Amino acid sequence: MGISAFGLNCSAGPEQMLVHLKRLREFARVPLIAKPNAGMPQIVDGKTVYDCPPDEFVALVGEMLDAGVAVFGGCCGTTGEHIAALSKALDGARFVRPAPEHGDMLPASTEKEPMYLPVDAKHGKVLSVTNELEDTLSDALDTDDAMIAIKLSGWDDVDIFADCQYMINKPLCIVCDDADVLESALRVYQGRALYEGALDESALLPLCDKYGLII
């Protein structure tokens, strides 16, 4: 989608964040970012305090480097001492280039799950949008097809699709020949979709950059 780096900020201390960074490492095509808290917040005497001192804050820097992190920082609870310790720990560090383990697959996703497809994966019957789309989708999702294909022909189709897209738990291929309609569908779809249709590459590339459309 045109980003230079991607990562995690806040929400957890270094130990908890490392678990998720290692998972991201499998998929990341860009350097990762890590900006953990100084531990998890606790309320002591009515005040919010953090339980991770500077030496513990940087103890996992080596493992984060191995996980592909190239941009480091600190969030809630970190102080000048934490950042100074981080700078010292990174002195002379060797950064690891992104090396996704699934580079030969198509990285689609639904709202909640990443899904990797072989480049030759096929969809089943292309679904037309009607007022019964929920029922149609339910039947299609029960098949063994690797992905769902939905044809969008106009704005009414996008409205119905927007109401039903929450059901989709397989990779989605959008079949559409109108760039504006396609973009509207991508805007409401909470995932990363594939494309099939007659639109020129010049119309599709901006949508690839903005929405991660796979063509």
**Residue 163 belongs to domain with CATH number:** 3.20.20.20
Tell me the percentage of the chain whose pLDDT exceeds 90: 78
pLDDT value of residue 62:
96
Given 64, 89, 114, the domain boundary residue is: 89
Residues 71, 124, single domain; the answer is no
Task: Quote the domain boundaries for residue 21.
Answer: 6-89
Residues 31, 119, single domain; the answer is no
Q: Is the pLDDT of residue 139 over 80?
A: yes
pLDDT per residue over 71-82, tens digit each?
Answer: 999 999 999 999
Q: Note the maximum CA span of the chain.
A: 65
Residue 21 lies in a domain: yes
pLDDT value of residue 55:
97
Burial call 22-44: b when 16+ CB within 10 Å, e when fewer: eebbebbebbbbbbbbbbeeeee
Which two three-digit tokens encode residue 53? 């001192």
Residues 133, 188, single domain; the answer is yes
Dihedral of CA atoms 109, 110, 114, 116 in degrees, nearest 10, equals -50
Cα 186 to Cα 200: distance, rounded to the nearest angstrom: 17
pLDDT value of residue 113:
80
pLDDT value of residue 103:
67
Residues 81, 109, single domain; the answer is no
Residue 98 lies in a domain: no
Q: Are 187 and 165 in contact (CB under 8 A)?
A: no
Residues 36, 121, single domain; the answer is no
pLDDT value of residue 115:
84
Categorise residue 177: left if φ over 0, alpha if ψ from -120 to 50, beta otherwise: alpha
Q: Are 150 and 160 in contact (CB under 8 A)?
A: no
pLDDT per residue over 171-206, tens digit each?
Answer: 999 999 999 999 999 999 999 999 999 999 999 999
Residues 58, 84, single domain; the answer is yes
Residue 139 lies in a domain: yes
**Partners of 156 in the beta sheet?**
none
Residue 95 lies in a domain: no
Residue 166 lies in a domain: yes
pLDDT value of residue 75:
96
pLDDT value of residue 105:
81
pLDDT value of residue 16:
94
Cα 177 to Cα 142: distance, rounded to the nearest angstrom: 27
pLDDT value of residue 100:
76
Residue 72 lies in a domain: yes
pLDDT value of residue 29:
83
pLDDT value of residue 1:
59
Cα 100 to Cα 16: distance, rounded to the nearest angstrom: 22
The total domain count for the chain is 2
Residue 94 lies in a domain: no
